[in-house]
Chain A
Amino acid sequence: AQSVTQLDSQVPVFEEAPVELRCNYSSSVSVYLFWYVQYPNQGLQLLLKYLSGSTLVKGINGFEAEFNKSQTSFHLRKPSVHISDTAEYFCAVSDPEGYQKVTFGTGTKLQVIP
C-alpha cells in the first residue's frame, strides 16, 4: 500500500518570498509522484510529475520539485511567489505497475500575503 503525507495544512507566505511545500510518501515499490494545484471552485490541475530520470523536476508557473528517494520526499518549491499562487496544493503518488491508481495527500493551502 502507498500513502502520502503533507506535513503542513496551511502555509502563509509574503509575496515575492520563496516557499516550500513538503510531501513525504511511503511505498513498497517504485513510484510516480505528482503535484496538483486546485484554485477555488475548480478541479485539480497537474503542476509537475516525476516518473524517472532527473530528480529535479520543473513544472508550470515556475514551480519545481525534487525527488529524494532516501528521504522518501517530493517537496515543492518556488523561489518567488505571486498573489495568483494562492491555492491548495496536493501531492500524489501512484505505482508504475498495474493500474496506477493515484493516492492523494490531504492538501496544503498556500496563502500569499500582499
Chain B
Amino acid sequence: EADIYQTPRYLVIGTGKKITLECSQTMGHDKMYWYQQDPGMELHLIHYSYGVNSTEKGDLSSESTVSRIRTEHFPLTLESARPSHTSQYLCASSEYGNGYTFGSGTRLTVV
C-alpha cells in the first residue's frame, strides 16, 4: 500500500544533540514538504523539495536542514537541538492537484 512514513513517532533528546527525522514515501511523488506544528497552532512550512537534489527553505525560518538524494527519502536534520525546537514535525508529499499525503508526524521534545 502506498504511504508516507515518519520515524521516530516520539523522540526525547538532550540539548546539543544532533538528530535526524526520517521521512519516506512509496508513491513516487516528486514534491515533498516538512511542516512544523506547535500545539493548537497552524502548520508552518519549513522546507520543501520538488525533486531529487532540489531543496528550498519554507516560510518559517528554521535551523534545520534537509536533503533529497532519492525521490522517496526526505530526512530533516537538526545539528544541535535546543528546547525551542520542541514541536511536532509533519512530513508530506504530493502530486499535481491531489493535495498532500501526510505522515503521522514526529513529536520532538528537547530537554
Q: Once the chains are docked, how many angstroms separate the CA of A76 from the CA of B33?
A: 25
Interface string of B96-108 (1 = CB under 8 A from A): 1111111111010
From 44 to 70 in chain B, residues with beta carbon under 8 angstroms from any chain A beta carbon are: 45, 48, 50
In the bound complex, residues from chain B placing their C-beta under 8 Å from that of A102 are: 33, 94, 99-100
Q: B99 and A101: CB pair below 8 A?
A: no
In the bound complex, residues from chain A placing their C-beta under 8 Å from that of B103 are: 43
Taking residues whose C-beta sits less than 8 angstroms from the other chain, chain B's interface range is: 20 to 34
Q: Once the chains are docked, how many angstroms separate the CA of A105 from the CA of B41?
A: 9
**Nearest residue, chain B, Cβ from A45:** B102
Contacts known (A43-B103, A46-B99, A99-B50); A106 close to B41, Cβ less than 8 A: yes
Min distance, Cβ B32 to any Cβ of chain A, angstroms:
12
Interface string of A28-51 (1 = CB under 8 A from B): 000010101000011111100101
Quick one: which of A45, A46, A51, A102 has the most chain B CB within 10 A?
A: A102
Contacts known (A43-B103, A43-B104, A46-B100); A107 close to B42, Cβ less than 8 A: yes
Chain B interfacial positions (CB closer than 8 Å to A): 6, 31, 33, 40-43, 45, 48, 50, 90, 92, 94, 96-105, 107
The 6 closest A-B pairs by CB, nearest first: A43-B102, A106-B42, A44-B102, A104-B43, A46-B99, A43-B104
